[in-house]
A = this chain, B = another copy of it.
């Protein structure tokens, strides 16, 4: 028999982690000490009675703990010679160290450079949060949805889902897209994804190698820019004007894709003209680039019908069409869809399979019955009515309390307004945002969506998640904060008033 090591367990009583039975906690604590190399092989553990006393537990508890350690082969118990730490636990002698790390992947390195996004919600503690992207809350809708989900939970196949999406949902979307967006497609070209974000990520994988060029509209959707940049694309921006993307300024060759929001440019709100749409399609045909049409909020239209999708004009199968349920239903559902050109379908399906094998089935099945029965469209109509009220309240209140200090154009669509300050400078904007935050008002600047910031600062004002009373209060608070921030001299009506609000999506003058 080998001589007993006389080392005792350090730092008694052992610190316990609080999860589950005491015996398990004691076993884990001893295991840790062994693995940290503080109890060499052969060390005899304290007698069960002694350790029980130190830990303030029953002897039986320590006996069980030692048995657990023996089951893990970390100790051996032999009659008469006590419980000993196993020999040859290779790692036991290596002291715990913090891991040195080889450099991360290039993707991870690129993703590390981004700071907090300017369009991320300031947080739930902000009482009047003019955040873009938060949907309206409607308890009646959630009751309906709850019933749909519960019904679907009993019906869906519990096995692996269809990678491309639930067949009934793909079918229902085909009918919906033809009727509402003029997009005639086959179910085989419709893919269900985990929101527009996943659509961006999968399209990047399928279409872009590191260093490939992708085009965004300016102003842009900051998260699309970051996603493509993290992927490794070289992202260029092309300006928009009153007709949308200035197609003439697109590079003649090189880009693999251009991401556009023709129904309601994000964030400016401009609708792309038919002339530009046709020119863009012709450019894509000529350059063999793909057009990604992000139709993120075309359902919310307060006057007239929404312009048909770019995809409905596409005779050369160059347009990938993206739709989302984050706005019409709710963001935490994480469902959206992609209509793929025929030649891209197989690649997209494989990318989806490797990404996550498909979206969860139950919510897809519930959504399929919701869309097919047209309850979805009636729900959207109710939402549009409610949003129209909110939007009008916000616009009226802003006009009433801010007058010419803030100008905006009415695009009759969407879940947000873009408003420009006529006399505030950027230092003032920073003070305004901080002051507003301290009074419970959440404001979001628009200039991070521009390469060079516009001469006048502006706000991206989401109004969907606040009720009329809150929106009134938000406008009142904004006016109050602005008065405090504007220099006294500037509070008088300026002599040199801008003749009108800056054109939508085109800041009045580009600063240097």
Q: Is A347 an interface residue (CB 8 A)?
A: yes
Contacts A91-B285, A230-B350, A347-B112; is A182 near B74 (CB within 8 Å)? no
Chain B residues positioned under 8 Å from A331 (CB to CB):
158-161
The answer for the CA separation of A227 and B353 in the assembled complex, in Å, is: 9
The answer for the CA separation of A92 and B304 in the assembled complex, in Å, is: 26
Chain B residues positioned under 8 Å from A72 (CB to CB):
182, 274, 307-308
Contact A153 B160, beta carbon cutoff 8 Å: no
Min CB–CB distance A186 → chain B (angstroms) = 11
Chain B residues positioned under 8 Å from A302 (CB to CB):
none
Interface-located stretch among A203-211, A425-433, A490-498: A203-211
Q: Is A154 an interface residue (CB 8 A)?
A: yes
The answer for the CA separation of A281 and B24 in the assembled complex, in Å, is: 23
Chain B residues positioned under 8 Å from A356 (CB to CB):
193-195, 197-198, 201, 334, 356
Contact A360 B357, beta carbon cutoff 8 Å: no
Contact A351 B282, beta carbon cutoff 8 Å: no
Query: Quick one: closest B residue to A146, CB to CB?
Result: B153
Chain B residues positioned under 8 Å from A153 (CB to CB):
142, 145-146, 149-150
Contact B357 A36, beta carbon cutoff 8 Å: no
Query: Quick one: closest B residue to A72, CB to CB?
Result: B308
The answer for the CA separation of A106 and B207 in the assembled complex, in Å, is: 9
Contact B361 A332, beta carbon cutoff 8 Å: yes
Q: Is A80 an interface residue (CB 8 A)?
A: no
The answer for the CA separation of A359 and B31 in the assembled complex, in Å, is: 35
Contact A111 B354, beta carbon cutoff 8 Å: yes
Interface string of A350-375 (1 = CB under 8 A from B): 11011111111111000000000000
Chain A, 153-195, CB within 8 A of any chain B CB: 153-154, 156-161, 174-175, 178-179, 182, 184, 193-195
Contact B278 A174, beta carbon cutoff 8 Å: no
Indicate how many identical chains form the complex.
2
The answer for the CA separation of A505 and B46 in the assembled complex, in Å, is: 40
The answer for the CA separation of A91 and B100 in the assembled complex, in Å, is: 58
Chain B residues positioned under 8 Å from A308 (CB to CB):
72
Min CB–CB distance A312 → chain B (angstroms) = 7
The answer for the CA separation of A96 and B114 in the assembled complex, in Å, is: 42
Chain B residues positioned under 8 Å from A347 (CB to CB):
104, 108, 111-112
Contacts A35-B315, A94-B315; is A104 near B195 (CB within 8 Å)? no
Contact of A226 among B36, B107, B354 (CB under 8 A): B354
Chain B residues positioned under 8 Å from A326 (CB to CB):
160
Q: Is A6 an interface residue (CB 8 A)?
A: no
The answer for the CA separation of A346 and B100 in the assembled complex, in Å, is: 16
Q: Is A317 an interface residue (CB 8 A)?
A: yes
The answer for the CA separation of A231 and B351 in the assembled complex, in Å, is: 10
Contact of A282 among B94, B278, B304, B330 (CB under 8 A): B94
Contact B158 A111, beta carbon cutoff 8 Å: no
- Which residues of A pack against B, CB within 8 Å? 17, 19-21, 24, 28, 31, 35-36, 71-74, 86, 88-92, 94, 96-102, 104-108, 111-112, 114, 121, 124, 133-135, 137, 142-143, 145-147, 149-150, 153-154, 156-161, 174-175, 178-179, 182, 184, 193-195, 197-198, 201, 205-209, 212, 226-227, 230-231, 256, 274-275, 278-279, 281-282, 285, 288, 304-305, 307-308, 312-313, 315-318, 326, 330-335, 341, 343, 346-347, 350-351, 353-363, 465
A-B contact pairs, 26 of them (CB 8 A): A28-B182, A35-B313, A72-B182, A72-B307, A89-B274, A91-B315, A94-B285, A96-B315, A104-B207, A105-B205, A105-B207, A107-B205, A107-B206, A107-B351, A108-B207, A111-B350, A142-B153, A143-B154, A149-B150, A149-B362, A158-B331, A158-B332, A197-B353, A197-B355, A198-B356, A334-B361
A sample of 10 more A-B contacts (CB under 8 A), given A100-B288, A102-B288, A107-B209, is A35-B313, A91-B316, A104-B206, A158-B333, A159-B465, A194-B357, A198-B356, A227-B354, A230-B350, A333-B360
